[in-house]
Structure 1
């Protein structure tokens, strides 16, 4: 296998070859011509130019399955997690040039969180346990969360909570996401398993869990707890924003698991919340048409302001409030994305959209206009 050193040396040539071909996207991956997506999407003050050919990689040299999540490190690099074990991790610069890649041990690579400790960046990688074999058959193995350095060096792993007596034998563990609190505590969202949010200390020692399905107050329940995020917009009162994707909402909890409120987002099957400045951004993995029918090729991005009011949904319909209540947001007439799974926002307020089940395409860049 080509060494990283040889890969870096040859990357300029590879980038030139890719640049000479049509941009990755619908044009080369679909036999049937697709309607042209609009060049600029979004609403109000949050409009964006779409660049589907941003990533300078070829599907043969550095194959992709699903591009699940992306974060930006202290050096400004964009680190993407996918579930193709030729390269679970791909690291780009902002121009889309591939700088490095590693990882072959996470066939269910799903969630990616970055934290800083003592001036060094660390990654929390969530493997949900679901994956496809080489023939496209669905498989399952034990889910896990691992902490690594940004070069892949393993620090520790968090396995099935059953091993520490937290889960019963009947409760599945298929983790999808993590978040890190200001004190270093780690929150694991068991979004494909039993829908708990599990809190550990910074060394992976269990503290508590909450959410799940059988609480006396149904607002405390989670249905597809796909994402969890520490919201530090109020630095004196950080909270947890948890996806309850099947309910089309976020549920907000204190850091010790007490329910505060819900943020309803009708029509949106939202993934994790991403906080940037005073705004909350999220990928929307599915949506519906005006008749309420779930659409296969759907998904967009949504943006909320400091008051958690939707101000733009690039790739979806414009937000409409009636008597202070958000009306269902629908898929735009011409789809731009295939299942927006995560977003990463850089210092220029550009958005990088990772997509699930998107015909092996790389992330899409949205440049704010």
Structure 2
């Protein structure tokens, strides 16, 4: 043992001596810190923070992080599909503040709206979930309006009950948007691909779209997302995702077609607006060579200024030729697996919810 102690003592002295020698520009003994992972392009670049959320996988398990919004208190509210805690509420440091929700096995969409100085949430249960045997199970989807602490205000159920759908038509809502007068727009993205408009009390007004619509301007294929575009203050528009067409489609508040924006190789989720920007998770893309299936990790995030793509965090830089956007691709090291939703805070940091991401919490992209 004495020889071992002498060895440690000698090597300790030698180490101290080496540490006192001038390095002349070389860090001889200092272990280099891992380099920051910077994602994105141009003025929209971000440092990747993987372990942002402080969560116990036992106490607060996650299956899929589907969507996230920020409330008026600056809290980040996430919707998932684990019925031990469908709703997780974080502060911006990633600390878990609260959790609730056990009744949404197909928990998917989350939208926030303010009414009389109180934040209201609109939750969508898509009606689909995987059981323990790995089999997809269907139950009737629904939209639920709640307070931020989970008190239910009302439900919007299957449109068959009001004669809009036929018996046997699946209602699988994936998203809602709230119009300037309180109207509720429901995207039936995993069902019949209609956008269904209700008033603020849940009374049916109209619907449009549909996967079998013969008019290409109104046809929606996987109407996964819906949002209100307020960038032109005097002319707000409803924006709908047609994910299988790799497109967003704009309509007036009463459902009249305005325009389509095609994003080659990007199967986008809902549009999220902040200032002049549109953010969207890209759930799937295809590689330059070969093909992938829906279970493979092929996603990233895209950012537009106006109608132009300016950055693709987790993906290749956007390229335009003769004014036409070319295909974008996921980076080979797959820093983002599936971009399902984007939440933007007041400092322009991004929080990325991922579907099918090995039960991981949201990522943070810190603006640089």
**TM-score, with length taken from structure 1:** 0.88
Counterpart CA distance in 2 for 1:226 and 1:60 is 31
The aligned residue for residue 15 of structure 2 is: none
Aligned residue number for residue 322 of structure 2: 323
Cα distance per residue 1:266-285 (max 9 Å; x no partner): 00000000001110000000
For structure 1, the 5+ residue unaligned runs are 1-35
User: Structure 1 CA distance, aligned partners of 2:150 and 2:168?
Assistant: 33
* Residue of structure 2 equivalent to 1:89: 87
Q: In structure 2, what is the Cα distance between the partners aligned to 1:292 and 1:184?
A: 46
* Matches for 1:279-290 after TM superposition, within 5 Å: 279-290=277-288
> Is the Cα contact below 8 Å between 1:37 and 1:336 reproduced in 2?
no
> Does the CA contact (< 8 Å) of 1:201 and 1:207 recur in 2?
yes
SS of 1:162's partner is helix
Q: Matched residues in 1 for 2:274 and 2:140: separation?
A: 33
Taking the aligned partners of 1:53 and 1:152, their CA distance within structure 2 comes to 27
* Residue equivalent to 1:346: 345
Residue 219 of structure 1: SS of its match in structure 2? Answer: coil
- Deviation for aligned residue 1:38: 6.8
Deviation per CA, 1:213-248, whole angstroms, max 9, x where unpaired? 333421210000000000000010000110000000
**Alpha-carbon offset, residue 297 of structure 1:** 1.2
CA deviation after TM superposition for structure 1 residue 302, in Å:
0.3
1:229 aligns with 2:227: yes
Which runs of no fewer than 5 residues in structure 2 stay unpaired?
Answer: 1-33
Structure-2-length-normalised TM-score: 0.89
Deviates more, 1:262-271 or 1:332-341: 332-341
Looking at structure 2, the residues matched to 179 and 259 of structure 1 have their Cα atoms a distance apart, in angstroms, of 17
Cα RMSD (Å): 1.3
Q: Secondary structure at the match of 1:146?
A: strand
* SS of 1:163 mapped into structure 2: helix
Quick one: distance in 2 between partners of 1:291 and 1:132? 31
- For residues 166-181 of structure 1, the aligned pairs below 5 Å read 166-181=164-179
Tell me, in whole angstroms, the C-alpha distance in 1 between the residues paired with 2:300 and 2:175.
Answer: 20
Q: 3-state SS of the aligned residue for 2:60?
A: coil
Match of 1:6 in 2: none
CA contact 1:69–1:111 (8 Å) conserved in 2: yes
CA distance in 2 between partners of 1:333 and 1:37 (Å): 18
Work out the number of aligned pairs and report it. Answer: 333
Question: 2:59 corresponds to which residue?
Answer: 61
CA deviation map 1:62-88 (0-9, x unaligned): 100000000000000000000000000
Query: 1-side partners of 2:320 and 2:337: how far apart?
Result: 26
Query: Deviation string for 1:86-122 (max 9, x for gaps)?
Result: 0000000000000000000000000000000000000
Alignment of 1:208 onto 2:206:
yes
Aligned equivalents of 2:133 and 2:94: distance in 1? Answer: 30
Contact 2:211-2:222 at 8 Å conserved across structures = no
Aligned-partner Cα distance in 2 for 1:292–1:238: 41
Secondary structure in structure 2 of the residue aligned to 1:191: coil
Judge conservation of contact 1:37–1:334 (CA < 8 Å) in 2. no
Deviating above 3 A after TM superposition, structure 1's stretches of 4 or more consecutive aligned residues are none
1:304 paired with 2:308, answer no
Q: Secondary structure at the match of 1:155?
A: strand
Q: Residue by residue, what CA displacement relative to the aligned partner does 1:145-197 show, whole Å, maximum 9, x if unpaired?
A: 00000000000000000000001124221110000001000000000000000
Counterpart for residue 22 of structure 1:
none
2:269 paired residue among 260, 268, 271: 271
| Structure-1 separation of matches of 2:275 and 2:290 | 33
Q: Aligned in 2, Cα 1:119/1:154: closer, same or farther, shift over 3 Å? A: same
In the other structure, the counterpart of 1:248 is 246
Query: Which residue in 2 is equivalent to 1:21?
Result: none
In the alignment, is the contact (CA less than 8 A) between 1:286 and 1:294 conserved in 2? no
